[in-house]
Structure 1
Amino acid sequence: MKYIRNFQEVRKEDVSDVGGKGANLGELFHAGLPVPDGFCIMGNAFDEYMHRNDFDTQSLNHSDKLSDSVASGQFWAELEQEITECYTALGQNIRVAVRSSATAEDLPEASFAGQQETYLNVVGKEQLITAIKKCFASLYSVRAVTYRKQANFDTIKVSLAVVIQKMIESEVSGVLFTADPVSQNAEQMMLNASWGLGEAIVSGRVTPDIYIISKAKKCIVDRKLGDKDILICYDTTGVEERKTQAEQRNQFCLTDEQALALFEMGRKVEQHYGSPQDIEWAISKGKLYILQSRPITTLHKTNDIQQKLNASQKAVLNNWIEHCPIPLYPLDVNPCILVEQAKSKVFHDLGISIGGELSMDEKGVLFFTAGTLHISPRIIKIPFILSQFTNYEVNSSNTNCAFSRIKKELHKKSMSDVSHLSVHALLQDLRELMNVSEEIAYIRFRYNIFPSVAISKLLYPALHRVDTSINEYDLLSDLPYKTWKMNVALRQLAGYINNHNELENTIMGLKAADNSTLTDLQNNHPEFSDRLQDFLNEFGWKSSSSYSAFSSVSWFEDMTSLLPLIKVLLQSDKKTTSNNKYQTIHAKIIKSFSAKKASKVIKRIEEIRGYHVNREESLYLIEMCYGLARRIVFELNLRFPELFEQPKDILFLSLEEVYNLSGTIEDYKRKIATRKANRPQNVRLWNSLSLGGKLNDQNTLTGISGNRGLCRGKVKKILTFQEFDKMQPGDILVCRYTDPSWTPLFVLASAVVSDTGGPLSHSAIVAREYNIPAVLGCGNATDALHDGEEILVNGDKGTVQILS
């Protein structure tokens, strides 16, 4: 044929005719690998199409008009006949994917990543011809032309081929890297997998399952369960995005056998090309297919975070992962930096500069700048400064005055209707909220956390004299702080439901819930509605990820996570979290010291407890700021439909870029596309940072003691709030992390084991409240432990041993 080559006619040397994608697919086909059949429309067809239709490619200043013209051009009979014959040979009205493929030999395919188009689920001759023309036209879109101009490519000489390939209706799909691009380890492969079509992973719209496979051992050495919250599947025309069922989200989508089969296939592809490969794959009806393979071009780039980290950096990152379990989006980064800057300012006031922070580059890739400790001459005044820092009356007064003012400001903003504000007013409000969040963060660290830590260290010798087993965290028991009050309110709400059989039966009978379910419950039970609203008015801004300003969700925004919490509480017989631990410590202090000394120690302890109440209050106020800021961002998303095509697109801009939304739309679109493409790298990076804590020869995980005690019991692994109702009394809770919304699970748990966390994390504090053993910061407990396994949790040593 003059204009078309089937895959069996193409080899890797044919890039100039069929482009990089086409040449790679032909090469894989010749190597006997399982590639879905297809054909390539060569670059000469594109050149002749442009000539026959007399398109003026010199008019690049009007490339949007040129692109529209190219998309509506006419095919000549010979080309249309060849397309029809080749398409018919694939099958009767077969579903195909239509992809552009750059043909310039001196330009790597990666140079055009995201600049041309892909059309999925194309059926029938008419749809196919339309899709091919759109691929041709995409070479002259504003985005593509701007990108190539900025890269100094000669746009006029670029040609385009089109690849047409049978679509695989995959149950599972993903990407296999034959060298781990995150750790830069060529001796391991990284496998990403999710349900449905692979577009969900490639576009960065889903967090996939991740497997690390050793080439030498030929076995899986690490795995991480992704949330896989959406899947992409066939629609009547094109594809559609659906929510993944809870059962699918909470299980790995590949068996070990399938993962190792992919590993073997990856070895063959890598050996064939002689270099590490990035392979897109799919599984349909049990059969494995390769959809595309290309060289990994980033192995020479070492991400700063993946360099060796010192102990303090690891502690910082552990804290980030605990507060932001889902990788940050670009819009989340600046608010986090503001919080860190508030903390750094306090260190600076003490004469200490540490430096180093988590950040994100222009392409949306996370990195960690290593800090160096710098001591200024001001540090010689530390004894005097510390006496000021730890003045409880001053600190408490400053905190209470600021919080009183801030609460009034935030309440006023919460009552405003953002839909009636101008874009200018929305952006002004957004700036104000970010400034308030930074002020709260400074108050949190300067007037509460820092003085609390200082006093705790000073008190340690006295506490050790009273009882060597007491630590500063025990002093926070039986304390009515924000989360404690929230749990009391939740139990009261559950108690009301427990006393109304019809309402209780309805709630316990719900298998799944959405906001409409709660609305129906409220409509049918007005008094319950009033009580629920009272609860939300007090605690509704509590979110799923406290430091993820724009990608987290509060109860005000999505109430569905409340029902699993209530169902857990309805199962429990425990009525209170009090274990009288603090009263016991109080009595021991009075017995151990003179009245004067005991009074002084108890006064300091009461200060620590007061600081903790303020610390918890400050976090909730920050979450309220972020929640109100999300309302604005959601409204901005609606105001700029030409820029934000998907609900989450705005998350791929930085905060500064959102402040300047009057910027060039096409420039912003390019940034969004680039950062979407790089998000999977951040997801892999975030997950790799939380992997660790391997089982030793005695089948034992090592972590950090969150609360003392021994407990033998069975594992119940809970990864999302949708799984809360799995929890049964006496189970050992195993999770990645917990936040305050998880607290009711501790009512049922006999012990807790988590991937992240430290002595002052939510898991530790609540475990001490309920007096159950806790081992935290294990790294990969959720991978190493499985439902039903019997384990021994040793909170004294910080270990978890698998018994069966």
Structure 2
Amino acid sequence: MKYIRNFQEIRKEDISAVGGKGANLGEMFNAGLPVPDGFCITGEAFDEYMKRNGFDQQASACCETLRSEIASGQFWAELEQEIAGCYAVLGENVRVAVRSSATAEDLPEASFAGQQETYLNVVGIEPLMIAIKKCFASLYSARAVAYRKQANFDAVKVSLAVVIQKMVESEVSGVLFTADPVSQNPDQMMLNASWGLGEAIVSGKVTPDIYIYSKKAKRIADKKLGDKDILICYGTTGIEERKTPLEQKNHFCLNDKQVLEVFAMGQKVEQHYGSPQDIEWAISGGKLYLLQSRPITTLSEKANERQPELSASQRALLNNWIEHCPTPLYPLDIEPCEIIDRAKSKVFQELGISIGGELSMDENGILSFSAGTMRISPRIAKVPFLLGQFTNYAVNSSNTNGAFSKIKKELEEISATDVSRLSVPALLQQVRALMNLSEEIAYVRFRYNIFPSVAVSKLLYPTLQRVDKKIDEFDLLSDLPYKTWELNVALRKLAAYIQDHKELNSAVTNYKIMDRSAIETIRGDYLEFSVRLQNFLNEFGWKSSSSYCAFGSVSWFEDIIPLFSLIKALLQSDNKDLGNHKYQAILEKIALRFSAKKAAKVRKKIEEIRGYHINREESLYLIEMCYGLARRSVFELELRFPEIFEQPKDILFLTLEEIYALPAGTQNYRERVAVRKANRPQNEKLWSGLSIGGEVNNENALTGVSGNRGICQGKVKKILTLQEFDKMQQGDILVCRYTDPSWTPLFILASAVISDTGGPLSHSAIVAREYNIPAVLGCGNATELLNDGQEVVVDGEKGVVRIVT
């Protein structure tokens, strides 16, 4: 044939004839990779078409008249016959994708991807002819001409080939990068996946599921659930968008086996080409297909260099931030964090110490952090005299109770407000009021509870060592009715109630994927359970997975689905009493070691420490309630300014100061949002930096810190998201990046805990001590180095994890 080449006739060297897209498809097809069959109309045919129809092929500027003329030009008989013959070989009236493939497209120094048009679900010879002409015309669209000019290709003769390829009706599709384009790490691959046809991802219309694969460890290192708001599917003609059903939105669209299959195929493609590839893929009828591959052109020259090791102080700071904010802060989250720091700094200043901030964000939304600064004033000499005042439990307790009582009343009043009826100034006033309350709570938290608790603990430590050298101040918090423990008890009561009601239990457990409509159906059918659930939410509903993340987090009030995931996980346990009597044992040792008078004094100090901890936990829940109510007002503000905020949660990319300036200054806000959204991957890279440099040592062991003592051997079960909770079985060793109160039910099932982040006062440590299971925390990259099913020994005595198999 003169103007057409079938895929079996094409190799990667044929870019000048069929363009980068066509050349790569032919290359993969002939390498035995799963590429749907097809053919290419050559660039020579395009040149001939332009010549025969009298079009100016040297036009370098966009001309809508020229585009229209090209799209309505005439094919000559020989070309029409070749197209019809090749189309018939693919099948009778088969669905095809018609894709443009510029002969300069996908070169190593530039990517023309997306600059010309693609037409999907083309059926029949006449629609195919029309689609081919439209592809020819797309070479002169405004977008394509501007791109060529920017890339200095405007002076180069660029022809257009057209790829015609059998379509697969994909259930799932996406894009695979065989070198992570965000972290610029060639040892990692990134996979994006969504329901339906791949155009939803390629066009940027959805936030897909994201999977990260470690080539070194040969396993999935991380995954994040995307919102996948829409899916693109076949229409009567062409394609159409539909809202993604809730049961699909809230579920990963690939299982781990499928993910590993895509990654393995990607490595084959990369090895074949000898360079990192950007691959479009689809799964149809359970079979994986490759739809396109091209070199990744966005990797920096330093992509093969490893990121430098973080300093010890940076690692410690980042560990703490990830513990409270598992995902990077948004611009709108920065000032609330500074408010908390301001309250803490105020207490330090009362002691003669001035401290600087740790975290900062520039105008473009890029985060950075440092160890901060510290200056000492002469006032510090008075600390020994101030210590008695700072540690007066009666005064501290009275001030705390008074402040919390007042704050709770104010929060209840704000909570009863219908924000939809408030004006913009009233909404802004409410946000200011809530931020002021958060600062007041934080001051009470640090001044009247954390600081005195630390001081008393340090003073008491030598006495505890005389009782038992293995006792530390953290052991004193065992069997303590603090807020998180009350939440855990309440969750277990909900689970026990469900287990006691057979039909309700079946209704909850039979939904593999819980959605809001299913939950509402259950609440409507089981009214007593609904009342119990609402009582739980009234007490704990503002709990989120990001304690200090004011606006970027989501509470159970705002999204109840994660709460039901927890309840379902908890239903797997036997719900037996897991009482911990460690604290009573310590009191008995104190009574035996000291006189009655001395023992009473020691017990009094211990009770003070425990009381401080209860208030400390209470303060965090109050802060989260402030944040939840503030989110309610802020997202109402977002609805009032659609001209600024095009996408849901775009308001997160403004600062609190900028929000307060609404509606003034709105002209520049849209641009600021766009810039900061584009820079967010850099912050994600920073947040992933904690695991950099960690490795298993020569003794096949991973080192962290002790969260709770004890030694346990068992099999690893790695849990990265709430959606994976149902993987956990009784006796598994939980391996995770971090935990918060939302994860508490898993501790009932776990025989031990290993986490990337955390320390002795983290949630993981506190709950592990309550359940008396060994915990090794702050390992850095346990989730990267350990795999499901591995046999490990968790040594909570030494803070070490030893790999057995």
What TM-score do the two structures reach when normalised by structure 1?
Answer: 0.79
- 1:291-339 alpha-carbon deviations (Å, 9 max, x no partner): 4434235446999x95543222211111222222234344444433443
2:226 equivalent to 1:225: no
1:615 Cα deviation after fit:
1.4
- Indicate how the Cα distance of structure 1 residues 308 and 753 shifts in structure 2: closer, same or farther if over 3 A, else same: closer
1:708 Cα deviation after fit:
0.9
For residue 77 of structure 1, what is the aligned residue in structure 2? 72
1:163 Cα deviation after fit:
8.7
- 1:144-163 alpha-carbon deviations (Å, 9 max, x no partner): 99x99xx9999x99999989
2:476 equivalent to 1:475: yes
2:208 equivalent to 1:206: yes
C-alpha distance in 2 between matches for 1:123 and 1:383? 82
1:100 Cα deviation after fit:
11
For residue 414 of structure 1, what is the aligned residue in structure 2? 415
For residue 270 of structure 2, what is the aligned residue in structure 1? 266
> Is the CA contact (8 Å cut-off) linking 1:515 and 1:560 kept in structure 2?
yes
- Indicate how the Cα distance of structure 1 residues 85 and 245 shifts in structure 2: closer, same or farther if over 3 A, else same: farther
For residue 375 of structure 1, what is the aligned residue in structure 2? 375
Deviates more, 1:319-328 or 1:781-790: 781-790
- Indicate how the Cα distance of structure 1 residues 205 and 447 shifts in structure 2: closer, same or farther if over 3 A, else same: farther
C-alpha distance in 1 between matches for 2:657 and 2:100? 35
For residue 622 of structure 1, what is the aligned residue in structure 2? 623
State the secondary structure of the residue aligned to 2:223.
coil
Q: Aligned AA for 1:408?
A: K
1:771 Cα deviation after fit:
1.2
C-alpha distance in 1 between matches for 2:646 and 2:137? 22
State the secondary structure of the residue aligned to 1:339.
helix
> Is the CA contact (8 Å cut-off) linking 1:589 and 1:598 kept in structure 2?
yes
- 1:429-451 alpha-carbon deviations (Å, 9 max, x no partner): 23332333233333323332233
- Indicate how the Cα distance of structure 1 residues 11 and 287 shifts in structure 2: closer, same or farther if over 3 A, else same: closer
- Indicate how the Cα distance of structure 1 residues 288 and 424 shifts in structure 2: closer, same or farther if over 3 A, else same: same
Q: Unpaired segments of 5 or more residues in structure 2? A: none
1:730 Cα deviation after fit:
2.9
C-alpha distance in 1 between matches for 2:538 and 2:444? 24
- 1:499-530 alpha-carbon deviations (Å, 9 max, x no partner): 43433343344433222222222222222222
The aligned runs of 1:259-298 (5 Å cut-off) are: 259=263, 261-263=265-267, 265-266=269-270, 269=273, 279-282=278-281, 285-296=287-298, 298=300
For residue 601 of structure 1, what is the aligned residue in structure 2? 602
C-alpha distance in 2 between matches for 1:622 and 1:98? 53
For residue 493 of structure 1, what is the aligned residue in structure 2? 494
For residue 794 of structure 2, what is the aligned residue in structure 1? 793
2:758 equivalent to 1:728: no
- Indicate how the Cα distance of structure 1 residues 597 and 453 shifts in structure 2: closer, same or farther if over 3 A, else same: same
C-alpha distance in 1 between matches for 2:463 and 2:333? 42
Q: Aligned AA for 1:767?
A: A
> Is the CA contact (8 Å cut-off) linking 1:228 and 1:249 kept in structure 2?
no
C-alpha distance in 2 between matches for 1:505 and 1:771? 32
For residue 701 of structure 1, what is the aligned residue in structure 2? 702
- Indicate how the Cα distance of structure 1 residues 621 and 81 shifts in structure 2: closer, same or farther if over 3 A, else same: farther
Q: Aligned AA for 1:225?
A: D
- 1:75-100 alpha-carbon deviations (Å, 9 max, x no partner): 56328999999997777675547689
C-alpha distance in 2 between matches for 1:307 and 1:663? 42
C-alpha distance in 2 between matches for 1:161 and 1:636? 49
State the secondary structure of the residue aligned to 1:234.
strand
C-alpha distance in 2 between matches for 1:9 and 1:788? 45
> Is the CA contact (8 Å cut-off) linking 1:767 and 1:774 kept in structure 2?
yes
For residue 314 of structure 2, what is the aligned residue in structure 1? 313
> Is the CA contact (8 Å cut-off) linking 2:98 and 2:131 kept in structure 1?
no
For residue 520 of structure 1, what is the aligned residue in structure 2? 521
Q: Aligned AA for 1:732?
A: I
- 1:90-111 alpha-carbon deviations (Å, 9 max, x no partner): 7767554768999999xx969x
For residue 404 of structure 1, what is the aligned residue in structure 2? 405
CA RMSD of aligned residues (A): 5.0
Deviates more, 1:692-701 or 1:471-480: 692-701
- Indicate how the Cα distance of structure 1 residues 152 and 352 shifts in structure 2: closer, same or farther if over 3 A, else same: farther
For residue 324 of structure 1, what is the aligned residue in structure 2? 325
For residue 427 of structure 2, what is the aligned residue in structure 1? 426
1:377 Cα deviation after fit:
2.7
State the secondary structure of the residue aligned to 2:327.
coil
- Indicate how the Cα distance of structure 1 residues 5 and 453 shifts in structure 2: closer, same or farther if over 3 A, else same: farther
Q: Aligned AA for 1:632?
A: S
Q: Aligned AA for 2:712?
A: C
1:576 Cα deviation after fit:
4.1
1:766 Cα deviation after fit:
0.9
C-alpha distance in 2 between matches for 1:671 and 1:6? 48
Deviates more, 1:623-632 or 1:719-728: 719-728
- Indicate how the Cα distance of structure 1 residues 29 and 261 shifts in structure 2: closer, same or farther if over 3 A, else same: closer
C-alpha distance in 1 between matches for 2:349 and 2:528? 52
- Indicate how the Cα distance of structure 1 residues 6 and 740 shifts in structure 2: closer, same or farther if over 3 A, else same: same
> Is the CA contact (8 Å cut-off) linking 1:210 and 1:223 kept in structure 2?
yes
Deviates more, 1:6-15 or 1:537-546: 6-15
State the secondary structure of the residue aligned to 1:406.
helix
C-alpha distance in 2 between matches for 1:302 and 1:371? 28
- 1:447-470 alpha-carbon deviations (Å, 9 max, x no partner): 322332232222221111111111
For residue 61 of structure 1, what is the aligned residue in structure 2? none
For residue 63 of structure 1, what is the aligned residue in structure 2? none
C-alpha distance in 2 between matches for 1:406 and 1:799? 43
Q: 2:256 aligns with which of 237, 242, 251?
A: 251
State the secondary structure of the residue aligned to 1:557.
coil
C-alpha distance in 1 between matches for 2:356 and 2:729? 45
- Indicate how the Cα distance of structure 1 residues 136 and 498 shifts in structure 2: closer, same or farther if over 3 A, else same: same
C-alpha distance in 2 between matches for 1:688 and 1:622? 28
Q: How many residues align?
A: 765
- Indicate how the Cα distance of structure 1 residues 71 and 467 shifts in structure 2: closer, same or farther if over 3 A, else same: farther
What TM-score do the two structures reach when normalised by structure 2?
Answer: 0.79
State the secondary structure of the residue aligned to 2:177.
strand
- Indicate how the Cα distance of structure 1 residues 104 and 504 shifts in structure 2: closer, same or farther if over 3 A, else same: closer
- Indicate how the Cα distance of structure 1 residues 690 and 547 shifts in structure 2: closer, same or farther if over 3 A, else same: farther
- Indicate how the Cα distance of structure 1 residues 195 and 307 shifts in structure 2: closer, same or farther if over 3 A, else same: same
State the secondary structure of the residue aligned to 1:226.
strand
2:766 equivalent to 1:765: yes
> Is the CA contact (8 Å cut-off) linking 1:358 and 1:368 kept in structure 2?
yes
> Is the CA contact (8 Å cut-off) linking 1:200 and 1:230 kept in structure 2?
no
1:474 Cα deviation after fit:
0.8
1:386 Cα deviation after fit:
4.5
For residue 743 of structure 1, what is the aligned residue in structure 2? 744
> Is the CA contact (8 Å cut-off) linking 1:70 and 1:136 kept in structure 2?
no
- Indicate how the Cα distance of structure 1 residues 661 and 530 shifts in structure 2: closer, same or farther if over 3 A, else same: same
1:796 Cα deviation after fit:
1.1
1:132 Cα deviation after fit:
8.8
> Is the CA contact (8 Å cut-off) linking 1:24 and 1:294 kept in structure 2?
no
State the secondary structure of the residue aligned to 1:225.
strand
C-alpha distance in 2 between matches for 1:654 and 1:157? 44
State the secondary structure of the residue aligned to 1:78.
coil
- Indicate how the Cα distance of structure 1 residues 573 and 24 shifts in structure 2: closer, same or farther if over 3 A, else same: closer
1:226 Cα deviation after fit:
0.6
Q: Aligned AA for 1:481?
A: Y
C-alpha distance in 1 between matches for 2:100 and 2:242? 18
C-alpha distance in 1 between matches for 2:428 and 2:720? 36
> Is the CA contact (8 Å cut-off) linking 2:175 and 2:191 kept in structure 1?
yes
> Is the CA contact (8 Å cut-off) linking 2:776 and 2:796 kept in structure 1?
yes
State the secondary structure of the residue aligned to 1:585.
helix
Q: Aligned AA for 2:733?
A: I
Q: Aligned AA for 1:296?
A: T
Q: Aligned AA for 2:622?
A: L
C-alpha distance in 1 between matches for 2:271 and 2:254? 29
For residue 233 of structure 2, what is the aligned residue in structure 1? 234
State the secondary structure of the residue aligned to 2:530.
helix
1:623 Cα deviation after fit:
1.4
- 1:210-241 alpha-carbon deviations (Å, 9 max, x no partner): 1243xxxxx54674121244555535324556
> Is the CA contact (8 Å cut-off) linking 1:227 and 1:250 kept in structure 2?
no
| Structure possessing the higher radius of gyration over alpha carbons | 2
- Indicate how the Cα distance of structure 1 residues 355 and 137 shifts in structure 2: closer, same or farther if over 3 A, else same: farther
- Indicate how the Cα distance of structure 1 residues 228 and 329 shifts in structure 2: closer, same or farther if over 3 A, else same: same
